[in-house]
Amino acid sequence: MYVTGDTSKAELFDPGFLLLDKKGNLVFSDNRNHRIIRVSNNVVEYLAGNGKIDPCGQNIGGRAWEGHKDGKAATALFSFPKGIAYDSKGNLYITDNKNHCIGKLTPDGNVSNFTYFDRSKAYINTY
């Protein structure tokens, strides 16, 4: 099961691309967890992506909700986020792999679609 908190106890599903933010915090995509994670002062925390994880028989660690949803960072949905990059204004751009688009996370915690989003090609859940 995915666990946030102290780095000595934190668990991740599939950490991917990583970078350092302006404050020197480690930021990365957790691909199968469908989230963007930050490690700051030895604490692992969600930066963006829904926090819901369902236990299931297919994956011993459970299964995170994926999909596409803009809005507040804590309720946003991604589907296998991959590459990430900051711009000079502190916006974080996220390649949302299975949704075939690029998301933008603003410094004030809002996620929006930065590129054209074609619902016919995306993986949409209606949780």
The reply to whether 125 falls in a domain is no
* Mean pLDDT confidence for 70-91: 94
Dist. CA 2–CA 51, nearest whole Å: 10
Is pLDDT of 76 > 50? yes
Q: Residue 122's pLDDT band (boundaries 50, 70, 90)?
A: low
CB-CB contact of 52 with 35 (8 Å) = no
- Say what the pLDDT of residue 108 is: 96
Dist. CA 74–CA 124, nearest whole Å: 18
The reply to whether 15 falls in a domain is yes
Dist. CA 111–CA 39, nearest whole Å: 19
- Say what the pLDDT of residue 102 is: 93
Residue 56 domain boundaries: 5-113
CATH code where residue 63 lies: 2.40.10.500
Selection from 32, 27, 41 nearest residue 94 by Cα:
27
The reply to whether 75 falls in a domain is yes
The reply to whether 71 falls in a domain is yes
The reply to whether 25 falls in a domain is yes
Q: Residue 95's pLDDT band (boundaries 50, 70, 90)?
A: very high
